[in-house]
Amino acid sequence: ELLLRLKRGTCVAQVLAPWSRRVVRELHAEGPIGVALPQLLKTLQDDGAAALPRQARLLVPDELAYLSLRPTCADWPAAQREAQSHFVQTLGRQDLVVQVMPLPGSAGWLAAAIEPADLQAWQQMLAQAGVRLVHVELALLDDLQAIASLIGNEAVVALLRDEGMTLCRV
């Protein structure tokens, strides 16, 4: 699998071993996403050591997503509809790509929305390299999962970002 962590001024690509998710190779490219991502993919394609993985997982930075905590809903479809409605009412946009994730302990849902043009651009860049985008995830959730064993049930976490800091109460 190819794990791509997008950032405003740099992109990181990790080639992961099957099943273990051990990092086999890691590359960094500087510049805006539209420049750095194709550069990483080209470098991986040109490397004769290993074939470019055919699937990619993309970690989207907080700065490129709209986030909202949403109330408890009966099920995922209801939560998805409620989140879509929330972003339409709040941002006046019906075209955003919206997803919801359940919060632990039935505490509601985390709703995230991204720009459709961003998603299409990332899919096209990957497709040109012969890679299929299979997962789009929030860097926020990936970072929180990485430190979950270090924090207790209640904590305040400050995550440094390219454009400041994300403060989370867990």
In this predicted model, what pLDDT tens digit does every residue of 119-144 receive, in sequence order?
999 999 999 999 999 999 998 888 88
The bridge status of strand 55-60 relative to strand 2-6 is parallel
Alpha helices, DSSP H only, in the chain? 33-46, 76-91, 116-128, 139-147
Whose CA is closest to 94, among 118, 67, 69, 113?
A: 113
pLDDT (mean) for 37-42: 92
Res 50: pLDDT: 65
Whose CA is closest to 21, among 49, 6, 1?
A: 1
In this predicted model, what pLDDT tens digit does every residue of 49-86 receive, in sequence order?
567 889 999 999 988 999 998 988 878 999 999 999 99
Contacts of 133 (CB under 8 A, 6+ apart): 56, 58, 122, 123, 126
At 85, list the tokens. 């409605």
